Amino acid sequence: MTRNLTLGIYLPGKTALHCLDPRTKIAGASGLILLLILTNNYAAYASFAAFTIALILAAKIPLRFALKGLRPMLPFLAIMWVFQLLFQKPPGAAVIFSWGIINITDAGLHIGTLMSIRVLLLFLVTTILTLTTSTVELTDGAEALLRPLQKIGLPAQELALTMVITLRFVPTLAEEAEKIIKAQTARGVDFGRGNFIRRTFQLFPVLLPLFINAFKRADELITAMESRCYTGGAGRTKMKVLRMGRSDYLAWVVFAVFAAIQVVLMIKVGRPY
C-alpha cells in the first residue's frame, strides 16, 4: 500500500544532481514550479516533461520508480479532471458535448487536462529534489535561502527545521501505517474491499493509532531536542559551510536557458482555449 510512496525518500547517489549545492537545487526546484504554474499550453508542458525526464535520468533515478510515485495521485486527479470538465464554463467557450443538463466545453476539457499534467509534473519535480537531497542538506539550503528574511523577523532556522522534520517523518509515518494496516488486517479488516462508505470506515482502525503514535513521537522528539539543549536558531554555527561551485553556475545557466525556452513557448503557442 505504501510501496508506491516516493516523496520524501532520499536515494543516495553520486551524480552531478546529487552533488549540487542544496541552495541551487531548492531554488531551482522552486523556479521550475513557478514555470509550471505559468505554463499554459501542451507544447510547453511537453518540453517541460522532457526536461524533467532528463533530470530523472541524470540523477540515475530508475524512471519506473519515479513514475510509480504518481500512481496514488491518479484517482484524485481523475476526480478533479471530471469536476473541471463538468463545471468549467468560461464565457465564450464552445460546447463540444451535451447530454441532458451536462454541457462540456472545450475550455473545461483543456483546463482539466492541463491542470492534471501540471500536478503530475509538480509532484515529479518535488520528488527529484527530495530523492537527490538528504534532509540535512535540505535544511541547510532552506535555511540559507530564508536567512535574508530574518531581518524582517522571519524565524528562518525554525521554519527550515519544521520543514525538514515534516519531510523526515513522511516515510516513517508511512512505514508505521503499513504496520498498523497489517495488525488490523490480522484481525480481519479487509482493506480495499466493499463500497466507498465501508472503505472510509475501514480507515478508522488505521488513522487512530497513527495519529496517537504521531503525537507520541512528536513529544519524544521535543524531549530529545531539549535534553540536548536545543534553544532555537540564534547564534548557531555550521560544521559544513555551503559553497557554490562551478557545477552550480553551470546548473544556473541550464536553468536560465530552459526558462527562456519555456517562456517563449508560453507566449508563442498561447492558451489552447
Partner 1 sequence: MPIEIEHLNHTYKEGTPFARPALFDINLKIDDGEFVGLIGPSQAGKTTLAQYLNALYIPRSGRVLIDGRDTADRKTDLVRIRFEVGYVFQNPDHQLFKRTVGEDVAFGPTRQGCSPQEVRERVREAMRLVGLDEETFYHRDIFALSGGQKRRAAIAGVLACRPRVLILDGITAGLDPRGRREILDVIERLHREREMTVIFISHSMDDVARLVERIVVMDRGRIVDDGPAREVLARVGRLKEIGLEPPQVVEIMQRLRERGFAVPAGVMNVQEALSEIVKALGRPGVKESWN
Return residues touching partner 1 (CB under 8 A).
3, 11, 61-62, 64-65, 68, 176, 179-180, 182-190, 204-205, 208-209, 212-213, 216
Other beta carbons less than 10 A from residue 53's beta carbon? 14
Report the nearest approach of partner 1 to the CB of residue 175 (Å).
11
* Residue 151 vs 193, nearer CB to partner 1: 193
Report the nearest approach of partner 1 to the CB of residue 21 (Å).
24
Report the nearest approach of partner 1 to the CB of residue 189 (Å).
7
Radius of gyration of the chain (CA): 22
All cell numbers assigned to 145: 535561502
End-to-end CA distance of the chain: 39
* Residue 49 vs 189, nearer CB to partner 1: 189
Grid cell 516513517 is found at 172
* Residue 61 vs 120, nearer CB to partner 1: 61
b or e along 145-165 (b: 16 or more beta carbons within 10 Å of the residue's beta carbon)? bbeeeeeeeeebbebbbebbe
* Residue 111 vs 206, nearer CB to partner 1: 206
Report the nearest approach of partner 1 to the CB of residue 215 (Å).
11
* Residue 208 vs 256, nearer CB to partner 1: 208
Contact in structure between 156 and 164 (CB atoms under 8 Å): no
Contact in structure between 127 and 69 (CB atoms under 8 Å): yes
Report the nearest approach of partner 1 to the CB of residue 183 (Å).
4
Taking the C-alpha atoms of residue 78 and residue 112, their distance in angstroms, rounded to an integer, is 9
